[in-house]
Amino acid sequence: MMCSIVPPYMLRRIAAQNEPRLRAVARAAKESLLHIKGLQAIRTAPVPAASPSARQAKPGPPKRTIFDARTTEELPGQLVRKEGAAPVGDAAADEAYDGLGGTHRLYGEVFGRDSIDDAGLPLDATVHYGKLYDNAFWNGSQMVFGDGDGQIFQRFTKSVSVIGHELAHGVTQYTANLAYRNQAGALNESMSDVFGVLVEQYIKQESVEQASWLIGQGLFTDQVQGAALRSMKAPGTAYDDDILGKDPQPDSMDSYVRTSADNGGVHINSGIPNRAFYLVAAELGGKAWEAPGQIWYGTLTSGALPATCTFGKFARTTLATAGELFGGGSPEHDAVRKAWDTVKVKV
């Protein structure tokens, strides 16, 4: 199923604008919403994990291919850059190429994973998709990036956390295959946020304290009162804008949002497990891709998560994974328990 970075509730706010200066933006948001609805109606079969024989003892190099849709919605588009080729001078194409490479490097160097499927899956991306297209998405086989409308959103390749986020949907697809609805869907989104920030932090070699913990930083134009799409450190504080409204993410189960919109609140309630991951990282300090990342990656690939996983089941599995990796009663194990207690998820 197609997973997009911009929540539908945000696009609906933009689509509802009727000021003359925002008509083009509103029209672009409406078209993006219709596009998301159409793609999400296409159900795809679960993707099997790579067989042991397909995996390499050591992750191989990336195999990146960047295409240009030239403002059409035809995929993949015209080939513009292949693996090993020099930069082409198109910011979106070169940012996509670098972001795919940084994501591949995190999974290979930190988690020993050979690309998205753990069997050397080629990484394809299409840039300049659609006209004023306000989104980026993983469609089950490749990345797709719009250029934004120029008033609310800039091009979606500007944020490496967005690239890492969308490719992480592919990792989830090949591992736990979490359903994209309700708490399982919120966990699906949260896993992508976790690995999205880890890609950005790993590329920049940032410590927990140095990192912004923002998803989509740099996407908004200077006309928007906001820093990013979401904040893992402080869910609900990423933006507060006349057009977009206020960031609706809760930071604990006390404010859990029950809704049928947004596939049961997948982009909203993901703030709760997001904050839990941040709290683990903040408690342990250092580099978030080390102990915290290993615990979350181990949980995702454990085979213990049902497709309809709840927050409680996920929390208990992270605690078990922390115990297996670092020992019961270790600082890592205690940090995980404390984080879930803080966000009011029962372990």
Residue type, 221: T
Give the count of beta carbons closer than 10 Å to the beta carbon of residue 72.
14
Q: Which fold has domain 47-174?
A: Elastase; domain 1 (3.10.170)
Q: Tens digits of per-residue pLDDT, 16-69?
A: 999 999 999 999 999 989 887 776 655 444 455 554 444 556 899 999 999 999
Two structure tokens written together for 300: 């995702």
Separation of alpha carbons 61 and 130, rounded Å: 31
Q: Tens digits of per-residue pLDDT, 256-273?
A: 999 999 999 999 999 999
Which one is catalytic: 166, 189, 200, 332? 166
Residues with Cβ within 8 Å of residue 307, at least 6 apart in sequence: 176, 177, 178, 179, 184
Do the two domains 47-174 and 182-342 of this chain adopt the same fold? no
In this prediction the pTM is 0.94
Report the C-alpha dihedral over residues 171, 190, 323, 46, rounded to 10 degrees.
Answer: -40
166 is catalytic: yes
Q: What are phi and psi of 327, to 5 degrees?
A: 100, 140
267 is catalytic: yes
Which one is catalytic: 35, 169, 267, 333? 267
Please report which helix (H) or strand (E) contains residue 57, including its range.
none
Handedness of CA 120, 121, 127, 133 (dihedral sign): negative
Please report which helix (H) or strand (E) contains residue 65, including its range.
strand 64-68
In the DSSP assignment, the letter for residue 53 is G
Please report which helix (H) or strand (E) contains residue 68, including its range.
strand 64-68
CA distances from 238 to 153, 231, 234, 246 (A): 15, 5, 8, 8
Q: What are phi and psi of 80, to 5 degrees?
A: -125, -25
Separation of alpha carbons 294 and 16, rounded Å: 42
Answer whether 238's CB lies under 8 Å from 214's CB: yes
Two structure tokens written together for 343: 């966000």
Lowest mean pLDDT among 29-43, 136-150, 188-202, 295-309: 29-43
% helix, strand, coil for the chain, step of 5 = 45, 10, 45
Share of the chain above pLDDT 90, in %: 89
Domain ranges of the chain: 47-174, 182-342
CA distances from 21 to 6, 28, 33 (A): 22, 13, 20
Q: Which fold has domain 182-342?
A: Neutral Protease; domain 2 (1.10.390)
Q: Tens digits of per-residue pLDDT, 177-201?
A: 999 999 999 999 999 999 999 999 9
Average pLDDT (93-103) is 98
